[in-house]
Amino acid sequence: MSRHIQVTFDAHDPRALSSFWRDALGYVHPGPPGVDLPEGADPLAAWDDFLTRAGVPPEQRNTRSAIEDPDGHGPRLFFQQVPEDKTAKNRVHLDVRAAPGLQGDERMAALEAECDRLVALGAKRVSRHEPVPPTGAGHIVMTDPEGNEFCLD
């Protein structure tokens, strides 16, 4: 039997980092427990209301955040606030499949377009790796707004 996984990110600003990854992956912020959100409602505003009603002090309201695949297929991503800075290269990173089924120049053009979109959301481009057939299809290395490395693949 396979297991479901959650990927956890350490972050200085869980809300901002989860919002970046939400937009990067097409995920959604789930609503608070027991709250039925009307269509089009802002789940982050609902969380603010929920935490206020629960008596959570303002300085503790950005200690965690989560996003989920709206189709229920991908892993849940959880973001937890930590005080320390990222000091070294990730030992695990995400590969964002931005050009499925494409090859060569068409693939690299699709990766470049996605790179531009993510840079506009706050990511940074690190390097481009050209296709090296037959084993390397080409990819772009990037970092998210807090410096976590990921690849457009």
pLDDT by residue, tens only, the chain of 153 residues: 788 899 999 999 999 999 999 999 999 999 999 998 999 999 999 999 999 999 999 999 999 999 999 999 999 999 999 998 888 888 888 999 999 999 999 999 999 999 999 999 999 999 999 999 888 999 999 999 999 999 999
SS3 22: helix
Predicted confidence at residue 95, as pLDDT, reads: 94
Cα 76 versus chain centre, distance: 10
DSSP symbols for 63-121: SEEEEB-TTS-SPEEEEEE-SSPP-S--SS-EEE--STT--HHHHHHHHHHHHHHHHHH
11, 67 in Cβ contact below 8 A? no
